[in-house]
Every structure is written in structure tokens, then in C-alpha cells.
């Protein structure tokens, strides 16, 4: 849609000419609501429904994923006082995995509406603890089929991003509650459920929002480096670069140098997959600025290949 591309407010006639798709409808409804055109927004949202997640492909546009689309739709339904409507059910333990992700996404949508309205959310730490354990929350079946574990694993990053966004929306109280819930879980038997790259994500986000000290961020972010020991040399190297990126982001350039160097050392056996063979770093006397440059190059490569 040309108006969106120009970052301008689209006219109703431009919108009417577009081929219908739910992502466009949701984006336009959000814009109408922000503009104060609630009845027009309501007319669009009434025909949108909650869908079964794909679990493999992202079939969305306008920057949506299954999770962010569902969060946005449920939030807008709340704002416009529209019922949730029919939702996908779990017919068996395989679909239970999807149902847990979808239920959590809709719950996040409601929480966002509450936060944006300025109303308080009771028992914040418990709310965040429950969200962080979303994959364990029974919807219909007490266990989800292990064969659909991929769907849960793929959804975690999206769900965690929404959780951090919610904490930021709430403010200092929300960020403190998220930090406390996370620290509690990481010191419990449930800690094994949090992958190394997710720990780095939370540590970086909470550090930059001022609720973790540098030492706390490093403790959480480096509490697992299992991905740097992956059987796949490409994954090992990717993990090393990501750890270096994390360290650079929390102002620990000295140790970032060590992980950039290690990225070259762990690449043995990577074969013909030459994308990760950016430079032979092991022989370089790397300093702070060289490390920053290499990490920036890695970030650019990663973003362009995702």
C-alpha cells in the first residue's frame, strides 16, 4: 500500500482498493483507532478472527508474526470492547503446544491494554512468572506432544519479546517485577528451560533499562554458553559471535575480544558453509575497536540472512 510505504495516513479509498488480507486490515484498524475513528476500526476488527499458529512458516506481512498478530488483535479487541470470538481448540496433545502459545499471546494482548490504560496489574511478579513459564501452562491436555516441541521452541523468542515490551510499557514497576521473576526462575530447577540465547536477550534488555547492574547482566547472560559447544561448527561459531555481541552491548569489550577470537577457533569442520568464515581471527591482536567492528559486521550478516 503506497501510503504505508510513504509513511503517510492512507485514505479510505486507497485502503478500499487493496486486496484484502488480515494483516493489512489489522494495521489499518490500529491506525484508525489511534486517529480516534473507533467505529470504523471496530467494523474492521469485527471480521478478524484468531487463527491456528503455523509453527513452521511465518505467513504474515507488515512485520507481524503469529504471536505479534494475535497480541495486537486481542489488544485492539479489548480497546474497542469487542468479544474475543472463537479461538482454535486443542483436539489432541499435539495441538496443545499451539494452544499454549496462542492462549499466552491473547493474554498478553489483554495485559497490554491494561498497561496502556494506566490501570494497575495485580501481583505483577506472579504475572511475569506465569508468562515466562507459558509453555507449561495447561490449556486442555496436561502434556503437549514432544513431537511439536519445535513450535514451542520457535515461539519463545517472540513471546519473550512481548514480555519485555509489556514490562517496558508498565514502567519501572514492571521491569523490576520481570527481573525478580526471571532471577527466581533461573535459580530454580526450571532454569533448564531457558536457552542460552534467551538468557542473553533478557540480560541485555534489562541491563539497558537500568534494572540490572553490569555484573548481574553478565551473570545472567553467561549463565549458559551451551550453544557455543554445539555439535554443528556453524552453530558454535554463530553462538560465539552472539556472545561477543552481548558482551559488547553490556560494555565488556575486553571479554568480547576473547569470544570473537574463539569464533574462529571453533569453526573447524564448518566445511563449505563459508558465510561464517568472515576472517581468520585467531591470529589477530584484536583490540576494543577491532572487536566492535567485527561484531557490527556479524550483526549485519545475521540480520541480512534472517
- Tens place of pLDDT per residue across the chain (306 aa): 455 544 555 556 666 667 778 999 999 999 999 999 999 999 999 999 999 998 778 889 989 999 999 999 999 999 999 999 999 999 999 999 999 999 999 999 999 999 999 999 999 999 999 999 999 999 999 999 888 888 999 899 999 999 999 999 999 999 999 999 999 999 999 999 999 999 999 999 999 999 999 999 999 999 999 999 999 988 999 999 999 999 999 999 889 999 988 988 886 655 544 444 444 444 444 455 455 655 555 555 555 555
**Distance in angstroms (rounded) separating the CA atoms of residues 142 and 96:** 9
SS (H, E, C) the chain: CHHHHCCCCCCHHHHHHCCCCHHHHHHHHHHHHHCCCHHHHHHHHCCCCCCCCCCCCCCCCCCCCHHHHHHHHHHHHHHCCCCCCCCCCCCCHHHHHHHHHHHHHHHHHHHHHHHHHCCCCCCHHHHHHHHHCHHHCCCCCCCCCHHHHHHHHHHHHHHHHHHHHHHHHHCHHHHHHHHHHHHHHHCCHHHHHCCHHHHHHHHHHHHHCCCCCHHHHHHHHCCCCHHHHCCCHHHHHHHHHHHHHHHHHCCCHHHHHHHHHHHHHCCCCCCCCHHHCCCCCCCCCCCHHHHHHHHHHHHHHHHHHC
Q: Is the CB of residue 73 less than 8 Å from the CB of residue 110?
A: no
- Our CA dihedral for 243, 245, 248, 253, rounded to 10 degrees, sits at 60
Amino acid at each position: 500500500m503506497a501510503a504505508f510505504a510513504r509513511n503517510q495516513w492512507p485514505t479510505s479509498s486507497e485502503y478500499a482498493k487493496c486486496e484484502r488480507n488480515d494483516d493489512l486490515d489489522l494495521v489499518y484498524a490500529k491506525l484508525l483507532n489511534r486517529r480516534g475513528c473507533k467505529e470504523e476500526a471496530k467494523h474492521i476488527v469485527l471480521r478478524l478472527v484468531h487463527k491456528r499458529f503455523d509453527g513452521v512458516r511465518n505467513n504474515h506481512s507488515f512485520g507481524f508474526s503469529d504471536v505479534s498478530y494475535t497480541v495486537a488483535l486481542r489488544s485492539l479487541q479489548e480497546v474497542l470492547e469487542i468479544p474475543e470470538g472463537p479461538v482454535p481448540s486443542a483436539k489432541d496433545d499435539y495441538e496443545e503446544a499451539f494452544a499454549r502459545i496462542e492462549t499466552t499471546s491473547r493474554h498478553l494482548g489483554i495485559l497490554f491494554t491494561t498497561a496502556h490504560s494506566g490501570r494497575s496489574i495485580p501481583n505483577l511478579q506472579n504475572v511475569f512468572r506465569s508468562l515466562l513459564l507459558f509453555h507449561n501452562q495447561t490449556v486442555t491436555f496436561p502434556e503437549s506432544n514432544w513431537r511439536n516441541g519445535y513450535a514451542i521452541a520457535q515461539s519463545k523468542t517472540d513471546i519473550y519479546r512481548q514480555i519485555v515490551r509489556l514490562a517496558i510499557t508498565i514502567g519501572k514497576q514492571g521491569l523490576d517485577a520481570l527481573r525478580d521473576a526471571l532471577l527466581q526462575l533461573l535459580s530454580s530447577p526450571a532454569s533448564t528451560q531457558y536457552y542460552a540465547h534467551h538468557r542473553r536477550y533478557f540480560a541485555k534488555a534489562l541491563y539497558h533499562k537500568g534494572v540490572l547492574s553490569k555484573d548481574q547482566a553478565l551473570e545472567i547472560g553467561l549463565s549458559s554458553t551451551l550453544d557455543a559447544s554445539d555439535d554443528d561448527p556453524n552453530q558454535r561459531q554463530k553462538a560465539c559471535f552472539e556472545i561477543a555481541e552481548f558482551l559488547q552491548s553490556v560494555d565488556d569489550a575486553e571479554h568480547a575480544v576473547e569470544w570473537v577470537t574463539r569464533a574462529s577457533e571453533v569453526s573447524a569442520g564448518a566445511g563449505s558453509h563459508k558465510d561464517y568464515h568472515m576472517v581468520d581471527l585467531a591470529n589477530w591482536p584484536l583490540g576494543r575497536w577491532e572487536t566492535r567492528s567485527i561484531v557490527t559486521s556479524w550483526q549485519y550478516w545475521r540480520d541480512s540472512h534472517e
